[in-house]
């Protein structure tokens, strides 16, 4: 089955800095890669996703890049703010299946 590795497990940045979280996946048949943000005690919420037919997608301060050859994808957050502090999860799903395999999460702490 699919295996998703996520790094780093924790990330501390100063407000205004950029943050990058990286994930690798094992199954080349994976074609859908969402990113979820989970605040303490809350539900995971989708913040951005990318499908394998594109290499990059951007939404305001958030961007995701995908390298299918290397089987890795990354989340980029620019101009970080304290409210960006949360746990971020990457995930992958295989063509024809909607079940998601999640990475272990990255705790992002943005200090004012």
Q: Which is nearer to another protein, 18 or 26 (CB)?
A: 26
Among 3, 18, 59, 95, the residue binding another protein under the rule CB under 8 A is 95
Closest approach of Cβ 59 to another protein, in Å? 14
Question: Does 33 engage in binding with another protein (CB under 8 A)?
Answer: no
Site stretch for another protein (CB under 8 A), options 15-23, 63-71, 75-83, 87-95: 87-95
- How far is it, in rounded angstroms, from Cα 108 to Cα 86? 5
């Amino acid at each position: 089955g699919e295996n998703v590795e996520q790094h780093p497990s924790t990330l501390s940045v100063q407000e205004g800095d950029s943050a990058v979280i990286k994930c690798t996946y094992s199954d080349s048949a994976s074609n859908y890669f969402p990113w979820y943000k989970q605040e303490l005690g809350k539900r995971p919420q989708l913040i951005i996703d990318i499908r394998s037919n594109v290499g990059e997608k951007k939404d305001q301060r958030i961007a995701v890049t995908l390298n299918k050859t290397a089987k890795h994808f990354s989340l980029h957050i620019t101009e970080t703010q304290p409210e960006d502090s949360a746990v971020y999860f990457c995930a992958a799903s295989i063509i024809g299946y909607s079940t998601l395999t999640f990475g272990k999460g990255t705790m992002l702490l943005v200090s004012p």
